[in-house]
Chains A and B, each alone.
Chain A
Amino acid sequence: MSLSPLLDVRDLKVHLRLGPNVVKAIDGVDFRIMPGECVGIVGESGSGKSTMARAITRLMPNVNIAELSGELSFEGQDILAMPDGALRALRRGRGFSMIFQDPLGYLNPTQRVGRQIEEALSCDSSRGSNRNRVHTLLDEVGLPDPANVARRYPHELSGGMRQRVMIAIALASDPQLLFADEPTTALDATVQLQVLQTLYRLHKERNMAMAIITHDLGVVAELCDRVYVMRAGKVIESAETVRLFEHPQQDYSRRLIELSTRRLPRELQA
């Protein structure tokens, strides 16, 4: 691995205006990912995990932003200052992508999934070769009979299939970094495992860096090289996965680990 990080975030602040109040959703976070690395982000609900991922990928929804500051550099380029055109170019090829918790809402209900994947391909070439690339992607994310799936609408697919389609869309631009925001929360347990395995395989095969946001420390223990523990808009601890599980520095991390190990046996049964 090279020594310079793929993504380097310093002192990121995202303050949102909610009526008369300002919510400090992210309040001074440092975060980095090396090329090809898999990082986990954990923390209680509302701790700012999603907001951080969205701020970094510049995919904030329509919220009233009071402050958005910090240094965000991706391969040495400053993402925050980047003009829209350059940002689009980065998203279209070898940049970063994101997948979301609820694949049904994040897929357009009125378009066939094949077209939605095709739209994300890094550069437009001829129709025929685009279709082949779509089928290859669907095959790669583990969907049998790609030609058939490509012709379907999102509501005609199962939850697991939809999330795989989302992954195919994210991979279409051949990104170097993939953010996965609770990619399996909406799925049932057996499907969760399969989707996670697929993600992990793709991460290894493509040497693609990955940041997984999850509530499930079991997932982190299995997949991630390093972990960030977030609470109230701050990173309170970051460490190699093994170190964190063996010697958590913060009470909060320790409690999270205890909670998840107590849950683990049931998960294994499933």
Chain B
Amino acid sequence: MPELKTSTAPAASSGFSIGSWQVHVANLFGTRHGALGASILLVLLLVAITAPLIAPYSPLEQTQASLAPPSSQFLFGTDNIGRDVFSLVVHGSRSSLMVGLGAALAALLIGGTLGILAGYFQGPVEAGLMRLVELFQTLPVIILVLCAVALFGSNFWLLIAAVALAIWPMEARLVYGQYIKLRDREFIAAARVADLSTAHIMFREILPNAIQPIIVQVALDASIAILIEAGLGFLGLSDPSKVSWGRLLFVAQDYMDSAWWMSLFPGAAICITVVGLNLFADGLNEVIDPRSTSGVGGLQ
């Protein structure tokens, strides 16, 4: 195997102070990508929360005009049964963000726990857990989720669980990797010598040091979860009782020749969300590892 760069680890500081967080947030907004990404996410969050206030129509309301092109009355046009696409897109942000955040956090919980367990208990537990991770990573994510949906149905909460089940291995790998990297650092050894409890070592010493790459991974996971949810919706396999961007594209598939707006706007919404999450992750990476952008790059 090629040597992996280990120098990207965050500086070892055993403290976990609020002050450093404020600095990081300030730094995040100092990077162009980070600022843009965070702004996009904030706006999306606002839209999702205030959806009923922003949307001119209820997502279920069927107006007289069906397949009407974008106009001042219907900003994004209307769909085949006369619903306002703008209102649908606004309401769709809710299920996308919920699946994205919910699945990413659930994946963090599962993956993080298993990753830490694998790192902490060396030997057979470690080997067994890593084989499990490998097993889950052998099946393509979308196929895993499809299987789960096929077997258990497409209830909204089951969907979040299925997506989490598909993406947790990435979290487990990351947390495990971080843990291994930090496990042998002096300050951890020092904590061991000082006879601090296992939980103390894990949560007070190791977690603060591993947290930043983990947040990056959570943001990326959320973007993957949103893409999967959209994909399921597009296949017509998401929860039919929820408005979702993917499901709008599923319907749009049959009207591509007559109503481009039914595809364009929901698709663009997915894109913007995913771009926002990726920019956010990029910005955070820059803050963690300033080396990557300082100085000049390229080949002289």
Contacts and interface: CB of A to CB of B under 8 A. Distances in A.
Interface of A: 17-19, 60, 62-65
Contacts of A64: 294-296
Given A62-B297, A62-B300, A63-B296, 13 more contacts: A17-B295, A18-B294, A19-B290, A19-B294, A60-B300, A62-B295, A62-B296, A62-B298, A63-B295, A64-B294, A64-B295, A64-B296, A65-B296
Nearest to B3: A109
Contacts of B294: 18-19, 64
Interface in B284-300: 290, 294-298, 300
Contacts of A60: 300
B288 to A, nearest CB: 15
A52 to B, nearest CB: 18
Contacts of B296: 62-65
Contacts of A19: 290, 294
Nearest to B298: A62
Nearest to A84: B300
Interface in B256-300: 290, 294-298, 300
A3 B297 CA distance: 41
Contacts of B300: 60, 62
- SS of A interface (majority): loop
15 contacts: A17-B295, A18-B294, A19-B290, A19-B294, A60-B300, A62-B295, A62-B296, A62-B297, A62-B298, A62-B300, A63-B295, A63-B296, A64-B294, A64-B295, A64-B296
Nearest to A59: B300
Contacts of A17: 295
8 closest residue pairs by CB, A with B: A64-B295, A63-B295, A62-B296, A62-B295, A64-B296, A62-B297, A64-B294, A19-B294
A232 B296 CA distance: 24
Contacts of A62: 295-298, 300
B286 to A, nearest CB: 13
Nearest to B295: A64
A21 to B, nearest CB: 12
A258 to B, nearest CB: 34
A51 B3 CA distance: 27
Nearest to A63: B295
Nearest to A109: B2
A17 B296 CA distance: 11
A243 B237 CA distance: 87
Contacts of B290: 19
Contacts of A18: 294
B266 to A, nearest CB: 43
Contacts of A63: 295-296
A18 B298 CA distance: 18
Contacts of B297: 62
Interface in B163-209: none
A225 B290 CA distance: 44
Contacts of B295: 17, 62-64
A60 B295 CA distance: 12
A60 B297 CA distance: 12
A197 to B, nearest CB: 32
A62 B291 CA distance: 11
